[in-house]
Structure 1
Amino acid sequence: MHATDTEAAELAAYQLKDVANTWYETWEESPGEDADPATWKYFADAFLEHFLPIEVLEAKALEFERLRQNDISVNEYYLKFVSLAKYAPEMVRDMRDRVRRFVLGLSDDLFADANIAAQNNDMTITKMVAFVQGNEDRLKEEERLRREKEREFSKRAKSAGNFNHGGSQAGGNRQFFKKSKSGPAPSSASAPVPRLKFNKKNQNFTTADSQSQASMGYRVPGYPICNTCGKRHPGLCRLGTNGCFG
């Protein structure tokens, strides 16, 4: 339903209650009985002047002038824009001014395309909001795909790092096992038995290793020469007895 300026003021008056309604009745009678019905603008200006101090109106107008989207969504920015625009009617006199003011407050990643679209003569605030919201959705999707690719790349890099680390450990284990095979010396049970050789000169048995050590200048340990038999042997001499030489 489209209402005239006079009807709009009357419709607004029906919504007033308590103190606001009392003010309206007094204000309506103040011009006199022969006065013309109040228009919407006349009513709105009088209402705001009475219930909102001039300081509040100026603060709201300044807030609208400094309004920026920053990190809020396009829809949230638009709602704030509409809410504050009524306090600064001189800044949004017509649709072109309204669109221009809206575009100026957009975030950096949305401003460039919106500024170009605002040059169209038939651009309205409704069309601009729809256009900017479409760009916002597109940028969000691009950001989501970028982060998804980064997570996938990070997972692959981590998997490759674990694989290389595991391979080096396996190589180290193989090297360790090789060393283990050649590490410990054979036990005495599997060691070769030294060969004994009878030394005619000393009348004693010696090993081949002992002879080689003697030939190299090492002193080979042996028993002392017996004064009885002239031979080297351990213990008591059994010469002239029936005992057996060990």
Structure 2
Amino acid sequence: MGDGDRVRCAVYMLRDDASLWCEGAAHAVNLATLTWDRFKEMFYGKFFPADVRSRLTREFMSLRQGDSSVAEFIHKFDRGCHFVPLITRDARQKLRHFMDGLRPTNRRDVMLMRPAGYDEATSCAFQEE
């Protein structure tokens, strides 16, 4: 999928304030030639200022399952992945961070299944819960 297609899909999915922001931004930027990286930079700059991104990064780095269900933990983990690309772009680090965040009993059970990657680990975690 090219940059133009990604931008069009993202714009289509925007709702409420984000949709209004995009309508205004379209007057200043040509959406047809806007790159995906520039779109994300503009969007995150508007809706996730540096202090919010920093807080979300810290939350992700200390994320633990605790009393949450596996589904709730995975939801929080996936949301946090957007703010810590250095970890989440490396498949081994992403898997390691996910496994480290699981409740000890869940971690043990998932490790016994020897998941090859994050998707497999999440499937194993769901099976064990």
CA apart distance, 1:25: 4.4
1:109 aligned residue: 105
Pick one of 82, 88, 94 that aligns with 1:92.
88
Question: How far apart, in 2, do the equivalents of 1:52 and 1:9 lie?
Answer: 18
Q: Secondary structure at 1:42's aligned position in 2?
A: helix
2:43 aligns with 47
Give the structure 2 partner of residue 133 of structure 1: 126
TM-score w.r.t. structure 1 length? 0.45
Alpha-carbon distance, 1:42 to partner: 2.1
Q: CA deviation at 1:126?
A: 2.1
Structure 1 vs Structure 2 CA RMSD? 2.6
- Return the letter of the residue paired with 1:130: S
- Partner Cα separation in structure 2 for residue 12 and residue 72 of structure 1: 30
CA distance in 2, matches of 1:132, 1:18: 35
| Residue 11 of structure 1: aligned partner | 9
Cα distance, 1:7 vs. partner?
0.5
2:46 partner amino acid: H
State the aligned residue count: 128
Larger relative contact order (Cα-Cα within 8 Å, sequence gap ≥ 6): 2
Q: Which structure: greater helix fraction?
A: 2
Tell me the CA shift for residue 49 of structure 1: 0.6
Shift of 1:27: 3.6
The aligned residue for residue 52 of structure 2 is 56
SS at match of 1:38: coil
SS at match of 1:7: helix
Q: Which runs of 5+ in 2 are unaligned?
A: none
Q: Deviations over 1:200-219 (max 9, x none)?
A: xxxxxxxxxxxxxxxxxxxx
Greater radius of gyration (CA): 1
Alpha-carbon distance, 1:88 to partner = 1.7
Cα shift at 1:28: 4.4
Structure 1's 74 and 53: CA in aligned 2 closer, same or farther, altered over 3 A?
A: same
Distance 1:20 1:74, change over 3 A: closer
For 2:89, what is the secondary structure of its paired residue? coil
Tell me how far 1:134 sits from its aligned partner. 2.5
Distance 2:16 2:77 in 1: 30
Tell me which residue corresponds to 2:66.
Answer: 70
Letter of the 1:64 counterpart: F
Q: Given the two structures, how large is their TM-score scaled by the length of structure 2?
A: 0.79
Identity %: 28
